[in-house]
Structure 1
């Protein structure tokens, strides 16, 4: 009953409580006080028995961390598996990973970030049976991973791979040529980590006898450096290999280490590749057969290879081609007979496919003019696949089940908005996370067989109550036709909106390939900023133009070789249309964005100088020649092949068109979109004698955060908006 009561309360709140909303949002509420902090459910691990799950908990009274076991059905704590309060050598830990048999767990502490996803830290193995604790290495290491039997741990250290035997406590080194900025074994280089979204590039086989790993030779990759100013008398320099578009990538090769023979062999497939990537490797259930995905540099031809390491042969199981590019799938799943589940956009929408072990298509499991957005898993007991999709509208997400043969599709989530699921190991239960633009996140336990609610786990009724005291405007969803396409849009108007008045308009967008900003889900911090601006008398709009995601590959890939052309045309066209509305002041339209969005807002101001009065660009790409090879070439090929596509759509080449007000912001330690982008854009503006405002945040990365940084940034942006669009 609590679940039903909460649903009613939130919807009732948004329909009837406007009268009670008198308190105004402040920037401090958003960025320093945590006034609108959302309660979230900590990431959990489903135990092998399917009836229990584990959670990492922190005890403030003892300043200790623990791994606690809970029962799905009752949601009550069953026991504490391990607590740092009982470990003399370990004051705390920040993450944990079970062995397959759940008799051991790796505990992490003292972790330091390297790049976006990679970390280095101290790791221990805790034996649950005898309560012993073993330090894996005296030095900090990366990606420690149990062998399937739990008796060994493979890990990376100083660009080499090692294996520790937990029974003998003996450690062996299995690669020896690793060297910073030259050779990396088993860990991805910067560009793979950022663009292919993984760090650990090594995998155990099923019988613990072999480790497959990717070797990165980055000697010929150009080096990028940036100063770290810190607190010392002299700054230090951070240098790392970063391949920009058209420049040399790491030479990658695939290797197998045999723990029985203690020898390494290089894997060769039956095709000559001139310049290629290996974005995924995965062992099949056969301990002698490794799958490897190879993709060409243009990323429009992807091959799935099955490599038999026993007889050193390879066979091509699957070959996909696309006129634009192919997204690498992380959903490859091998069934007991080594047939496999695969996702692909080959019919124009992202869907699930089932192939036999040789790559022959058995059937297309899902189909329709909608996209599968997440693949959750396969239940072998009832031949059922679980997934998330946008079948119920591209701004919504729902959870579904479907038989492997493509029949008996069932919608398991019930409410319209954004639903995602975390399933128990045996697929008896799933925890559904739901939110919408009007309903804060809530977490419920559901029966997988029907999707039926079992009980509420956590909601945000406290946040809803807090918000009832503030002036909150509803986010209005609609579509707008621009350049022959119906584009998803939302608007936020002042709570006291009067259609007889005129309001300045601030547009927000990101617009990157396959992205989405117009989504029916709960607020992030920017949404509260938009509410703050609405209080000040602004209308805020967001439109997902061509090139964005979840509306089919044709809509998404129309921008191929012309990043920033059609996307900018759509934002300009929408701004024109909105400016024609009686309640929009067409002389006061601004636009802002971050990263790709900063690239877009710069272009919109320069190319749409008769429409936009101002723009804010945070951490923008100013020329695609400055950005990394994998991302940029996926959509643009190389600058050597497509010079006009690069130059005609990059803001740095259109500074002469600037008429309005421009705020340019960057972090000096941005390893992703380098400060070089802003420095070169600033110099181009200066030489064109164009006035602009700018701010550099010392030692801040692409996120520009830490301490009071975000508060300072949003105060700066708010003041700029008021000075250029407002009456202040």
Structure 2
């Protein structure tokens, strides 16, 4: 009897351990409770063969080095940093909650990090050997977009829409004094951060001058965002240039610290153009800038005199019948101020090109159909360059090395999957964090000279003993063109029985710069997808033509007709699903957000016979309401492409809606403004069509934080109510 009781208890415990995910776990557990074992904030110590990272409590900086056979030692603690700060700034008070996550190595003995006291904020340079502060710069606690000069003597930062420079010694310098909020200086929010723009300030190599964006958006229409927190709701207007309307005017200005003088680069007319790929020459005498026309089909890579602002020459031009999309600054070859790398997809795949500053192409460094995703640097003598690129039809990420002189390329990682790589200063050691659909996280150190590998972490499946994840598979489906293979993913319901019929949930994005299916842990899916499979759904995702990591021609089929080829490919996925014996073809639903919301509504109204239920979050409803930089790239101006805009406008198709549709929007959305969903709701009313609508009053384009649990519960409940039964 006791044996039977014990067996019952053990069985019950095991069964209890294999519970389905909760909605909270499905929302954040992927990054917390179920995150595979990992190394936190890894960094190669500059000019050494040693690696640093944080401990699990975020209170210590740990070190492993080749010298000690990669054994772990404590290098610096949070308490040591706090003591040094108190000693350096006795008039301020510090209570570091954890070791700074965003630390960096200035040199092999100096850590750079930011620390906030009760009075000021500081950019700190800490000597890890002496455990003291070598230098520190004081900035306002309200400072944003701090940018340190190369010699660490100055830090430039933004005070709202103006630039301030704080020196290591002496008074601060106010670079700009614009009181009109429509004049924005030094911000990375220029051209709405398209074209790879992620900064608005660039220090010259000698740290004596500051180059910055000056954005004039006074002529751009104001767009209201209603704030609901006050008793009388307030309007917080933003500048939002819609497709075909007046755009912002941007210039580049050079500020000389010694003379306090400014010059503006003479980038010419028309004023409505895009300034991209902003790069100082190594000698600081020139600035290189990609000047892209508003039509986004003609790029000129120009050189300007940094002292006068005068145009010097156009190095090369890039044109396209669709669009040119520059995304990266120039990368000069170390020790050679006349050679640089430029990234372009002009020959079909985004790859590296070696140019001289006279504009002559020295070598195309592309390799097969590899798309460069991350440039990592050069080896000690700048003979080779290293980068992460795609493989396996975009599913994998591998490490590549290319010899600049010959263009010979070698794949340095070979196991199929996703390799996230950090490379040391001289590119001889690689930190490789690898995952695949069967590997949660394997972290190794690879010596590129002798090919020796040292294992640091081999993570176990974090779900074992906690929950049983449903089966997932990656496979390919022919696209609507009959020749391209599309990467697809299916997650089967829990306790899958092929003799049963299951409802289907199609999760879709479909637009450029996004890839949903990858050879990585969980296959690129969110844990919410697995949660829905545990609830009894077949969860299906397909990366249609138009999505990322497959090259120029794969993406550019969307030009001037957003949604058309994307939908055609998604319907090929539906054809596949309908052939499966376990799919209930009368119960197919679709869910997507942003461009995916546009796709979800488009599929619902264009294929009402197929989709019974849809959920569309933050959906683009009519591309004429979307902003210029993104919208005109893919659709041209409304007056240039009236048929394209009309055929993709969803309000005119609301009368075709048959199934249940829930639209969700953030009331503070500055990306896909709420007017989109309002237009569709009004069209449904006019057509006599019922549609469900839910608004998150305080959220922008995405619902973040704890409220995302509410969002996911709402989505799950909607499908359970109208699709599952």
Normalising by structure 2, report the TM-score.
Answer: 0.88
Aligned 1:319-338 pairs, distance under 5 A: 319-330=317-328, 332-335=330-333, 336-338=335-337
**Which residue pairs with 2:306 in the alignment?**
309
What does 1:541-580 correspond to in 2, within 5 Å? 541-580=540-579
Alignment of 1:109-120 (within 5 A): 109=116
CA distance in 1, matches of 2:287, 2:703: 41
- Structure 2 CA distance, aligned partners of 1:439 and 1:523? 9
Q: Distance in 2 between matches of 1:19 and 1:411?
A: 45
Q: Give the CA deviation at 1:437.
A: 2.0
In the alignment, is residue 695 of structure 1 matched against residue 691 of structure 2?
A: no
My pick for the range that moved more, 219-228 or 128-137, is: 128-137
Query: Would the aligned equivalents of 1:413 and 1:451 in 2 still touch at CA under 8 Å?
Result: no
SS in 2 for 1:292: strand
Q: Distance in 2 between matches of 1:636 and 1:503?
A: 38
Across the aligned residues of Structure 1 and Structure 2, the Cα RMSD in angstroms comes to 2.9
Shift of 1:240: 1.9
**3-state SS of the aligned residue for 1:153?**
strand
Alignment coverage as a number of residue pairs: 689
Partner of residue 258, structure 2: 260
Determine helix, strand or coil for the equivalent of 2:713. helix
| Aligned match for 1:30, one of 21, 26, 31 | 26
Cα 1:471–1:259 change in 2 (3 A) is closer
Report SS of the residue matched to 2:237. Answer: strand
Consecutive unaligned residues of structure 2, counting only runs of 5 or more, are: 1-13, 87-92
The separation in 2 between residues aligned to 1:260 and 1:402, in whole angstroms, is 42
Q: Following TM superposition, by how much is the alpha carbon of 1:216 offset from its aligned partner in structure 2, in angstroms?
A: 0.5
For residue 638 of structure 1, give the secondary structure of its aligned residue in structure 2. coil
Distance in 1, Cα, partners of 2:234 & 2:540: 42
Greater mean deviation of Cα atoms: 237-246 or 205-214: 237-246
Cα distance per residue 1:693-726 (max 9 Å; x no partner): 221122012221222x222222221122122221
1:283-298, aligned counterparts within 5 Å?
283-298=280-295
Shift of 1:662: 0.7
Give the corresponding residue for 2:533.
534
Secondary structure in structure 2 of the residue aligned to 1:600:
helix
Distance in 2 of aligned mates of 1:716 and 1:689? 25
Structure 1 residues 715 and 508, CA, compared in 2 at 3 Å: closer, same or farther? same
Distance, in Å, in 2 between the alignment partners of 1:66 and 1:161 is 35
CA spacing shift, 1:240–1:550, aligned 2, 3 Å: same
For residues 578 and 244 of structure 2, what CA distance do their matches in structure 1 show?
40
Cα shift at 1:167:
2.4
Counterparts of 1:645 and 1:488 in 2: how far apart (Å)? Answer: 27
Q: 1:226 to 1:313 in 2, by over 3 A?
A: closer
| Residue 450 (structure 1) shift | 5.8
Cα offset, 1:248, TM superposition: 1.8
* Residue correspondence of structure 1 range 125-140 to structure 2 within 5 A: 125-128=123-126, 131=133, 134=136, 136-138=138-140, 140=142
Aligned to 1:143: 145
Cα distance in 2 for residues equivalent to 1:42 and 1:22: 28
- State the alpha-carbon separation in 2 of the partners of residues 236 and 42 from structure 1: 42
Segments of structure 1 that go 5 or more residues without pairing to the other structure are: 1-17, 112-120
Kept after mapping to 2: 8 A contact 1:620/1:677: yes
Alignment of 1:125-274 (within 5 A): 125-128=123-126, 131=133, 134=136, 136-138=138-140, 140-168=142-170, 170-177=171-178, 179-180=180-181, 182-189=182-189, 191-193=191-193, 195-230=194-229, 232-269=230-267, 272-274=269-271
Q: CA offset at residue 331 of structure 1? A: 5.3
How far did residue 465 of structure 1 move? Answer: 2.9
Contact 1:104 1:127 in 2 (8 A): yes
1-structure distance, mates of 2:233, 2:43: 42
- The residue number in structure 2 matching 1:718 is 716
Alignment CA distance shift 1:210-1:104 (3 Å): farther
- Structure 2: distance between partners of 1:493 and 1:91: 49
Note the C-alpha offset of 1:682.
1.4
Confirm whether residue 371 of structure 1 aligns to residue 371 of structure 2. Answer: yes
Comparing 332-341 and 127-136, the one that deviates more: 127-136
Distance 1:391 1:150 in 2: 40
CA shift, 1:159, in A, is 1.5
Distance 1:41 1:646, change over 3 A: farther
Task: Please state whether the residue corresponding to 1:679 is helix, strand or coil.
Answer: helix
CA distance in 2, matches of 1:143, 1:380: 31
2:10 is matched with: none
Residues 249-270 of structure 1, C-alpha deviations (whole Å, 9 max, x = no match):
221111111122221111114x
Change (3 A) 1:507 1:66: same
Deviation of 1:155 after TM superposition, in Å, equals 1.8
Mapping of residues 308-457 of structure 1, within 5 Å:
308-310=305-307, 312-330=310-328, 332-335=330-333, 336-338=335-337, 339-381=339-381, 383-449=383-449, 452-456=452-456
Task: Report the Cα distance in structure 2 between the residues aligned to 1:525 and 1:667, rounded to whole angstroms.
Answer: 25
| SS of the residue 2:633 aligns to | helix
Query: Can you list the C-alpha shifts for 1:148-202, whole angstroms capped at 9, x where unaligned?
Result: 221122222132222222123x11112222532x111111336433x24444311
Partner of 2:9: none
In 2, the alpha carbon distance for the partners of 1:462 and 1:714 equals: 24
Question: Structure 1 pair 421/223, CA: closer, same or farther in 2 (3 Å)?
Answer: same
SS in 1 for 2:95: coil
Given that residues 518 and 524 in structure 2 are in contact (C-alpha distance below 8 angstroms), is that contact kept between their aligned partners in structure 1? no
Is the 1:205–1:287 Cα contact (8 Å) retained in structure 2?
yes
TM-score, length-normalised on structure 1? Answer: 0.88
**Superposition pairs for residues 659-674 of structure 1, below 5 Å?**
659-674=658-673
Go from structure 1 to structure 2 and tell me whether the alpha carbon gap of 1:40 and 1:239 turns closer, same or farther (over 3 Å shift): farther
- Give the 5 Å matches for 1:5-20: none
SS at match of 1:475: strand
Provide the secondary structure at the position in 2 that maps to 1:673.
coil
Determine the C-alpha separation between the residues in 1 that align with 2:250 and 2:516. 35
Q: Using the alignment, how far apart are the partners of 2:442 and 2:266 within structure 1?
A: 49
Check whether the contact 1:375–1:388 (CA below 8 A) recurs between aligned residues. Answer: yes
In the alignment, the residues of structure 1 paired with residue 275 and residue 399 of structure 2 have an alpha-carbon distance, to the nearest angstrom, of: 31
Asked whether the 8 Å contact 2:505–2:589 carries over to 1, the reply is: yes
Shift of 1:629: 1.0
